[in-house]
Structure 1
Amino acid sequence: MSKTFLMERISWIGMFLFGQCLLLLIAYLDLSIPFQPVLYIVFLSTILFIIFLIIRYHKETAFFKRLHDWESSLDVSGVADAASPFEKIMELALINQTEQLHQSASRQQIALEQEKDELLSWIHEVKTPLTAMHLMISRVENDPMRASLTFEWLRIHHLLDQQLHQLRLPSIENDLYIEKVDIESLLYMELKSLQSWCIQKGMGFDVQLDVTETLSDAKWLAFILRQILTNAVKYSDKPASDIIVRSFVAQERTMIEITDSGRGIAPKDLPRIFDKGFTSTTWHQDSAATGMGLYLAQKAAHTLHIQLTVQSEVGVGSTFTLIFPQPNELLRITGM
């Protein structure tokens, strides 16, 4: 700050030094003017000027130090108490600008909340005809036709469900309810919803549950499992291949492991699969991928303090592992 202050006052300091040097030069050239008294006057005035600079430095830089240390938020209380008229002008401009930003942010927040509420309302409205459509599809006597219609219905249902949870994700902390979750019933409910799709693709599930209970939020855990299981079914193209689902305890932590025999993930894509909007570089032409499922699953897992990892090999398949926190650690984090 001292260097900045000197650079700001360089013209004043230069003018003062120029005046002192000019005075000495005149006293040196004009023999009628005694040089030593002039030199003494220059010395005293220089000392006074230095003291003046030090006083002005502490007085003038206090306001700018607060500006320098001010966090870029919409609170200007930390930069108040302007001393000089110029500082008051700057303070007034900051307050006016901040007030405008406050109003603009409030308007945008209100508009965003209204848009979010309208979209949520629309999703809930669409669910009603979807439910009726599902009942109508179940009455179709042509088995191949019923299977095809069920598959398309399931895709729409999952996309709407994904959009619904995406809207709820920013306020997930307000929606959490940590309890003992029955992994078996939760898992079989998700597998049942994928049954028609699996039958169409000629594949099944091999479920091996050594652990049937864990401490988590049932709704959001079901959402995470739904995204991984849906991807496992979607990208498993090998006939008569089973998706293996295991639950077990390792290193005093409950783990759920989902292994498919699909096309796998390229090593260069593995670090990016949880990024928002990322689909694939190997299968970039796949228009069915949205790049949102794993991103949302990772966001929800992070809030639940679940570590989501993946191992994959192209042409062999992928293994997604959910590593749950220890019960005492989860309770301590969530404050229950």
Structure 2
Amino acid sequence: MIRIFLKERVSWILFFIFLQLLVLAMGYLDTSIPFLSTVYITFISCLSFVIFIVMRYGIETRFYKSLEKLEPSFDLTAIPEATSPFEAISSERISGQIQVFKKQLDELQISLEQEKDDMLNWIHEVKTPLTTLQLMIERTEDPVLRSQLMYEWLRIHLLLDQQLHQKRIPFIQNDLYIEKVDVQKLLFQEIKSLKQWCMQKRIGFNVSLEAEKVLTDAKWLGFILRQLLSNAVKYSEDSDIRIRCTSKGGITTLSIEDFGQGIAPRDLSRIFDKGFTGTANHQNHAATGMGLYLAKQVAESLLITMEVESAVGEGTRLSLIFAKENEMVRIARM
């Protein structure tokens, strides 16, 4: 702050130095004026000026030091009190801008809430004809056509499900219900929903569960599993998907391993980024790049660590490492 203060006052300081040099020059050129007296006057003036600068530094920087320490917020009472006309102008303008931004933010929040409610209502409205469509597809006699239609229906269903949960994620803390969840029941439920897709791609499941229950939120864990399983099925064919759930030292790990095309090493660090669809299969227009991103967002809220191992042509293993139970109990009490 001292450097900024001196930089701000540099023109005044230079002007003062110029005046002192002018006094010394006059004392030197005018023989009627004792030169020693002009030196003495100059010395006293410089000393007084230094004391004045030091005093003014404390007074003039108090307001700006308070601004510098101010936390970003819309609290108008946090703005320091002005002690000079210029500070009063600054304070007034800052208060005015904060009020404008606060009003705009309130309007945007209302608009966002309205948009979210409209989207959720639309998704729920679409689910009704989608359920009817499923019943009609199941009555189709041609097995090949039925399988193709069910595959397309499932794609629409998964995209709607993604959109629904994406709108709910910002408010996930209000929707958590921590309980002992039966992993096997949840897994088989999600696998069953992908049955037609798996049959079409000739994919089976090899499930081994040493740990059968975890302390978490069933609905949101189901969403994570849905994204991981649909990704595993999407990039596999004519192979099994291996699912393992183990527990060691109070930490439960659930891994889903496929033997599909795998992920390029350059993409591993980016697979959880929003909208990232990979560079190895970039022409795949069906990929949205949202599934793993949303799964990661939910996992963080549930204190689940996601790890990925993959090699091109050998497949991918995604692991969910659950937090210890005492950590989940803490969340449940919040």
Q: Which TM bucket (shorter chain)?
A: over 0.9
Counterpart-to-counterpart distance in 1, 2:11 and 2:264: 63
SS at match of 1:223: helix
Separation in 1 of the partners of 2:95 and 2:281? 52
Does the aligned pair in 1 maintain the 2:180–2:214 contact within 8 Å?
yes
Residue 326 of structure 1 is matched in structure 2 by 324
Structure 1 vs Structure 2 CA RMSD: 1.5
Instruction: Provide the residue aligned with 2:196 in structure 1.
Output: 196
- Residue of structure 2 in register with 1:242 after alignment: 240
Unaligned runs of 5+ in 2: none
Partner of 1:58: 58
Corresponding residue number in structure 2 for 1:252: 250
Residues paired across the two proteins, number: 334
Deviation at 1:37, TM superposition (A): 2.8
- Structure 2 match to 1:298: 296
Aligned to 2:164: 164
In 2, Cα distance between equivalents of 1:20 and 1:262? 83
- 1:329 to partner: Cα distance: 2.5
Tell me by how many angstroms 1:70 deviates.
2.6
Give the whole-Å Cα distance in 2 for the aligned partners of 1:16 and 1:307. Answer: 64
Residue 90 of structure 1 pairs with residue 90 of structure 2: yes
Do 2:252 and 2:321's aligned partners in 1 also have CA atoms closer than 8 Å? yes
SS in 2 for 1:268: helix
**Percent of aligned positions with the same letter in both sequences?**
54
- 1:11 aligns to what? 11
Counterpart residue type for residue 287 of structure 2? A
Whether 2:174 is the aligned partner of 1:174: answer yes
Matches within 5 A, 1:1-336: 1-237=1-237, 239=238, 241-335=239-333
Aligned partners of 2:256, 2:31: CA distance in 1, in Å?
101
User: What amino acid is aligned across from residue 6 of structure 2 in structure 1?
Assistant: L
Classify the secondary structure of the residue corresponding to 2:215: strand
Q: What amino acid is aligned across from residue 286 of structure 2 in structure 1?
A: A
Give the residue type in structure 2 aligned to 1:281. T
C-alpha separation between the residues in 1 aligned to 2:84 and 2:197?
Answer: 74
Structure 1: 5+ residue stretches without partners: none
Letter of the structure 1 residue corresponding to residue 285 of structure 2: S
**SS at 2:326's partner residue?**
helix
The one-letter code of the counterpart of 2:324 is Q
CA distance in structure 2 between the partners assigned to 1:6 and 1:260 by the alignment: 65
Shift of 1:34: 2.3
Shift of 1:332: 3.1
What whole-Å deviation, never above 9, does each CA across 1:150-205 have from its counterpart, x for those lacking one?
A: 11111100100011001111111111110000111111111111111111222211
Distance in 2 of aligned mates of 1:275 and 1:310:
14
1:297 alignment partner AA: A
- Give me the whole-angstrom Cα distance separating, in 2, the residues matched to 1:200 and 1:28: 104
For 2:22 and 2:328, the matched residues in 1 are separated by 77
Measure how far apart 1:76 and its partner are: 4.3
Per-residue deviation, 1:75 = 3.2
CA distance in 2 between counterparts of 1:41 and 1:334 reads: 76
Deviations 1:235-279 (A, max 9, x none): 112x2x211112111343111111112111111111111111101
C-alpha contact (below 8 Å) 1:66/1:78 kept by paired residues = no
Can you list the C-alpha shifts for 1:273-321, whole angstroms capped at 9, x where unaligned? 1111101111000111110001111111111111111111211211111
TM-score, normalisation: structure 2:
0.96
After the TM superposition, which of the residue ranges 22-31 and 283-292 deviates more from structure 2?
Answer: 22-31
C-alpha distance in 2 between matches for 1:100 and 1:277? 33
Q: 1:63 touches 1:79 (CA, 8 Å); kept in 2?
A: no
The 1-side partners of 2:13 and 2:292 are apart by 63
Shift, 1:73, TM fit: 3.3
Q: How far 1:208 moved relative to its partner?
A: 1.3
Q: Give 2:327's aligned amino acid.
A: E
Task: Name the aligned partner's letter for residue 204 of structure 2.
Answer: G
Task: Give SS of 1:269's match.
Answer: helix
* TM-score in terms of structure 1 length: 0.95
